[in-house]
Amino acid sequence: ELKFAEHIKGKHAVLFFYPLDFTFVCPSELIAFDHRLEDFTARGVQVVGCSIDSHFTHLAWKNTPVNNGGIGQVKYPLVADINHSICKAYDVETAGGVAFRGSFLIDKAGVVRHQVVNDLPLGRDIDEMLRMVDALQFTEEHGEVCPAGWKKGKAGMKASTAGVAAYLAGHAREL
């Protein structure tokens, strides 16, 4: 049994919701998260998936070969939200009772700093979530903000009138 608050305490975390096990877009997303898990781990980020299915269904899906629609042995926890309390708390429950594809980036203090919610047929971009992790960690480390399209290794800007003017003077054409 995973105690989410304890699991992420003092760490960055990505909590993502998906509609159901054994469906269509979902396995591609869970496998994509697993393929990038080392990238999240290297950044000190805990990844946790959540659906309204039971832990028995999660186990069956993990034990189903990928070439048969399973997800294989993904290495991050999957939460069984069978009473829907978590998806309701994050406001991602659909009228039909399953979760939208919600992704939440949570800082070390437990505060949601980024969220995106996709409709059911729209798969999420895991690389974009990594970019947002980089952006959050950059702002925490440097005290600067990240402009549109910011990527790791690029310049940030000071959150001031002079800072934005200086940034735009050197980077406006790149935007």
Annotated catalytic sites, by residue?
Answer: 26
Nearest residue to 142 (alpha-carbon basis) of 158, 128, 127:
158
Contacts of 107 (CB under 8 A, 6+ apart): 12, 113, 136, 140
**Tokens coding 47:** 């990844």
- Nearest-angstrom CA–CA distance, 101 and 97: 13
CB 123 within 8 A of CB 48: no
- Nearest-angstrom CA–CA distance, 51 and 56: 12
